[in-house]
């Protein structure tokens, strides 16, 4: 396909938001160019969802072999060959990148231009010395790992969520700074591969934006796997002493020092907007470098849109995908579409996993909603009982006056799959009574949602196994 300098739509970036935009734009027969300065596919397939979950699956397989708890079954696990594990991960990534990204550009008929894009007056884009003009532009450059300004951090060759997945060996010991999704997932990952792991969190609890019952239960579970947790602790300084990295903390227990072979910084991701020249085309940035957009994902320049992590909106690949479709339709057909996050699910792929949708108890109270909640231990969930693993908790938040379900929160194996039932229930405006009376397949983790809803009016301990 010959390179043109004028298009209906020019997209900067090549991740999930960019491809969703391009595919939707081609459905409208728009001419599209996509500009990427690095590897095609963006965060999810290259350094995010796909590789991290591949490594988590490998670590889980080893953990199951080492922690077998079924009577009559004996298993063991040998040496971890990290080079082979990473190579297997890379093979999956390469295949998916080829099938779901590179190959789709040819299938849908849009051009991918390799180079650094910078906005210039017009607006237009300058790429490799060439001026690219379009009727509309989309910024879809994603986000990158961010590290706080800790004294000495830049001098110790710290790991990020990206570089940690390229290690050729498992560190003997590891300090993870940050206890949200990435820190928890990678902390447990390396612990299950044999590292001695300590997770440090500045806030009062791990998974600090989830329900406190989930944070408490997960802390206990991590401790049972030998993972130490330091909450309410801020990192004052990091320095290298020989082969060890010394992490100095200020915590409720006073000053502490942690020594480990490596430090992994998992303190979040910041939008990638430097060097784009956005100031020259009147695009406003927020305090964290995010592109400021309105409800239709249009920037402060009316012919430039933004989609995905670069907007500072929830950093999930399915949000990026939805953004891409919305911006393409809004740019090309003036559809005035918006994105509704009220029933957006979120999953942290620890084991057991955290999955939530809707409001927490605290969020409902902050909005002045009089709510009531029920919390259920998985000791009452038949699927967990037969699995010989009742670690987990479910919580349902409801409006007291109407019984309307406001939020569902799970800590369970398979929670990411089970939460879909709650997404549909919240979309449909279910009450607790409707949730309690809905059909639920027996011996599934999703049954925990129904049982928790039933506990608003019944003693679930007094129900037979499959009582409805």
Q: How many CA atoms lie within 13 A of 285 on its CB side?
A: 18
What is the band of 5 on the pLDDT scale with cuts at 50, 70, 90?
Answer: confident
Per-residue model confidence (pLDDT) at position 455 = 97
From CA 36, how far away is CA 138, in angstroms rounded? 13
Model confidence, pTM: 0.95
Q: Quick check: bond before 244 cis, omega within 30? A: no
Judge whether 194 and 227 are in contact, CB under 8 Å.
Answer: no
From CA 448, how far away is CA 435, in angstroms rounded? 11
Domains identified in the chain and CATH numbers: 6-144+270-333 (3.50.50.60), 153-267 (3.50.50.60), 346-462 (3.30.390.30)
Q: What percent of the chain has pLDDT over 70?
A: 99
Scored b (16 or more CB within 10 A) or e, 228-247 reads ebbbebebbebeeeeebbbb
Nearest partner of 159 among 132, 134, 178, 138, judged by Cα? 178
- The backbone torsions φ and ψ at residue 51, rounded to the nearest 5 degrees and listed phi first, read -65, -40
The residues near 109 (Cβ < 8 Å, ≥ 6 apart) are 1, 26
What is the band of 1 on the pLDDT scale with cuts at 50, 70, 90?
Answer: very low
- Within 10 A of 29 (CB to CB), how many other CB atoms are there? 9
User: What pLDDT, in 10s, does the model give residues 74-97?
Assistant: 999 999 999 999 999 999 999 999
User: What pLDDT, in 10s, does the model give residues 114-169?
Assistant: 999 999 999 999 999 999 999 999 999 999 999 999 999 999 999 999 999 999 99
Average pLDDT over the chain reads: 96
- What is the average pLDDT across 105-121? 95
């Amino acid at each position: 396909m010959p390179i043109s300098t004028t298009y209906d739509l020019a997209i900067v970036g090549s991740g999930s938001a960019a491809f969703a935009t391009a595919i939707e734009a081609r459905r409208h027969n728009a001419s599209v160019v996509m500009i990427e300065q690095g590897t095609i596919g963006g965060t999810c397939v290259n350094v995010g969802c796909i590789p991290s979950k591949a490594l988590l699956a490998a670590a889980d397989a080893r953990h199951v072999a080492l922690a077998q708890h079924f009577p009559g079954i004996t298993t063991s696990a040998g040496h971890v060959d990290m080079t082979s594990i990473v190579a297997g991960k890379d093979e999956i990534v390469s295949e998916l990148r080829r099938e779901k990204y590179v190959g789709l550009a040819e299938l849908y008929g849009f051009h991918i231009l390799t180079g650094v894009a910078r906005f210039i007056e017009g607006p237009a884009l300058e790429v490799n010395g060439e001026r690219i003009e379009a009727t509309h532009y989309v910024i879809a450059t994603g986000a990158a790992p961010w590290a706080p300004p800790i004294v000495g951090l830049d001098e110790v060759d710290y790991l990020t969520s990206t570089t940690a997945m390229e290690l050729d060996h498992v560190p003997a010991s590891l300090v993870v700074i940050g206890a949200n999704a990435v820190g928890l997932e990678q902390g447990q990952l390396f612990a299950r591969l044999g590292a001695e792991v300590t997770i440090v969190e500045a806030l009062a609890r791990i998974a600090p934006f989830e329900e406190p019952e989930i944070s408490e239960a997960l802390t206990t579970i991590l401790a049972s796997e030998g993972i130490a947790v330091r909450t309410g602790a801020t990192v004052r300084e990091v320095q290298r002493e020989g082969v060890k990295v010394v992490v100095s903390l200020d915590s409720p227990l006073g000053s502490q020092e942690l020594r480990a072979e490596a430090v992994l910084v998992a303190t979040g991701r910041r939008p990638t907007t430097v060097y784009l020249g956005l100031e020259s085309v009147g695009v406003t940035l927020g305090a964290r470098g995010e592109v400021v957009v309105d409800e239709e994902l249009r920037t402060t320049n009316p012919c430039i849109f933004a989609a995905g992590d670069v907007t500072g909106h929830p950093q999930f690949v399915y949000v990026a995908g939805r953004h891409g479709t919305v911006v393409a339709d809004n740019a090309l057909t003036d559809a005035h579409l918006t994105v509704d996050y009220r029933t957006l699910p979120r999953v942290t792929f620890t084991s057991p996993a955290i999955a939530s949708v809707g409001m927490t108890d605290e969020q409902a109270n902050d909005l002045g909603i009089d709510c009531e909640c029920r919390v259920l231990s998985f000791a009452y969930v038949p699927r967990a009982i037969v699995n010989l693993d009742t670690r987990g908790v479910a919580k349902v938040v409801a409006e007291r006056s109407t019984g309307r379900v406001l939020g569902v929160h799970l800590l369970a194996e398979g929670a990411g799959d089970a939460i879909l039932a709650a997404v549909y229930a919240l979309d449909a405006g279910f009450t607790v009574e409707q949730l309690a009376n809905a059909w639920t397949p027996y011996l599934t983790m999703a049954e925990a949602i129904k049982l928790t809803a039933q506990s608003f009016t019944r003693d679930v301990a007094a129900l037979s196994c499959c009582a409805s």
